[in-house]
Amino acid sequence: MKIRYSLRIRQACLALILITTQSCYHYRITTSKFDPSTGYQRKTAHSFFWGLVQQNVVATNCDTLNLKSIDEVRITTNLGYSVLTVATLGIWSPVQVEWKCPKPCPREGEL
């Protein structure tokens, strides 16, 4: 009886550690003069069949500001996304994409 109880406690502790220490990782790309004008906009992008079919992510908020650039891009994945990717043998691979728009260039000259 004591052995079962001890085993259950160890399993519960291991499950608690695994749940609370979920890891995620980020890739961050910025410009050399990082100065964003917007907060993060995010979208989940999905890649299928080992990258052969990809979902394009369009920064519509930068388009509405008439900006043709992005100030920062951050790609994030977490334990759940990694489990999905491994469980499907790479057939489905989701990631979280976040971006910030730059400030518009100041106008030069007189009005």
The per-residue pLDDT string of the chain (111 residues; one tens digit each, 9 = 90 and over) reads: 566 777 888 888 888 777 666 667 777 777 777 766 677 778 888 888 987 888 787 777 776 777 777 778 888 888 888 888 888 888 998 888 888 887 776 667 665
Residue in the structure block whose two tokens are 């964003």: 36
**Spatial distance between the Cα atoms of 45 and 94, rounded to a whole number of angstroms:** 6
> Around 97, how many Cα atoms within 13 Å sit in the side-chain half-sphere?
14
The Cα 109–Cα 111 span in angstroms is: 7
Distance CA 93, CA 56 (A): 14
- What pLDDT score was predicted for residue 42? 83
Check residue 39 and give its pLDDT.
Answer: 76
Where exactly are the structural domains of the chain?
23-100
Entry pTM: 0.62
Query: Helix (H, G, I), strand (E, B), or coil: what is residue 100?
Result: strand
What is the per-residue pLDDT for 22?
63
In this prediction, residue 59 carries a pLDDT of 74
**Residue 91: which of 51, 49, 52, 47 has the closest Cα?**
49
Beta-carbon-side half-sphere exposure of residue 40 (alpha carbons within 13 Å): 12
